[in-house]
Amino acid sequence: MDMHELSRFADPTGRCSNPRMINAVAAYCGVTLASDAEIVEGQALAQERIGGEVVSAAMLKAVQDITGSSVFVVREGGKVTGLTAFFLLRAAGMKAFDDGVFDTVNVNLDFVWRPRETPAGGYAWGFVASNDRAAGRVVKASLLIREALLWALPGYTRAATDDGARLIFGSLGFEPVPDQPTLARYFPRARAFEGLLDAGKAAA
């Protein structure tokens, strides 16, 4: 990655919840804010690829309507080939995670951050893709939004598949949550792009 090019997105506070900036970083990575129809299509892709209990299109849309910057897709050849989704949290939402009572499928919308509030953390529903090119884009967007704009915030995610777990506990820098085998926690960074720089050193 071109760190000089990426530096223009770096937020000095690490708590940038401005939907315009989140959408700009997403666009740089080759993903776009999902329309209602694309949310339905992307959720169907997730259901097909992941299976089990997957968050509904209605819930994805409800969160997107609140934040304006939570669900993003890759569209190729007239169809959705990738999706990534996350949302920022109020302090009560982070406490619910810390207490082990946050329902990530049927989300209590009162926990979801609102524009112009200061977020306390975040949750990543994750990403899904039907080909390697789309996978690269959604993973890149997930990583860069966090490392450029939200690096000072803690967060959570769940590992829904073995491949997802390898990424989450590997290059994405999450750590397991004791006694919750699928839940993973991300701790704040000290500076923008710290995770990218650490990964580069480890690979050298």
Q: Decide which of 190 and 161 is more confident.
A: 190
Three-state DSSP class for residue 194: helix
Burial label for 149, CB within 10 Å (0-12, 13-18, 19+), is: buried
Q: Is 12 exposed, middle or buried (0-12, 13-18, 19+ CB in 10 A)?
A: exposed
Kindly state the average pLDDT of the residues 57-66: 98
pLDDT bin (cut points 50, 70, 90) of residue 91 is very high
Residue given tokens 């990424």 in the structure block: 167
Sign of CA dihedral 132, 139, 172, 158: negative
pLDDT of 152 above 70:
yes
- DSSP states along 104-161: SSS--GGGB--TTSPP-EEEEEEEEESSHHHHHHHHHHHHHHHHHHSTTS-EEEE--S
Q: Per-residue pLDDT averaged across 48-77, rounded?
A: 95
Question: Tell me: the pLDDT tens digits for 98-130?
Answer: 999 999 999 999 999 999 899 999 999 999 999
Task: For the chain, list the strands marked E by DSSP.
Answer: 32-33, 71-76, 79-89, 121-129, 155-158, 175-177, 180-186
* Structure token pair of residue 14: 């690490």
Evaluate the CA torsion angle 183, 188, 193, 194 in order and state its sign: negative
Between the CA atoms of 128, 138, 141 and 105, what dihedral angle is there, to the nearest 10 degrees? -10
pLDDT at 173: 84
> What is the distance between the alpha carbons of residues 108 and 103, in angstroms, rounded to a whole number?
7
What pLDDT, on the 0 to 100 scale, is given for residue 104?
95
Q: What is the CATH number of domain 3-199?
A: 3.40.630.30
Ordered by start, the domain boundaries in the chain are 3-199
What confidence tens digit (pLDDT) does each residue in 11-56 have? 999 999 999 999 999 999 999 999 999 999 999 999 999 888 899 9
Q: Looking at residues 188-200, what average pLDDT do you find?
A: 80
User: pLDDT value at position 202?
Assistant: 35
Percent of the chain with pLDDT over 70: 95
Measured on CA atoms in the order 21, 184, 39, 90, is the torsion positive or negative? Answer: negative
Q: Report how far Cα 3 is from the mean position of its chain's Cα atoms.
A: 21
Amino acid at 154: P
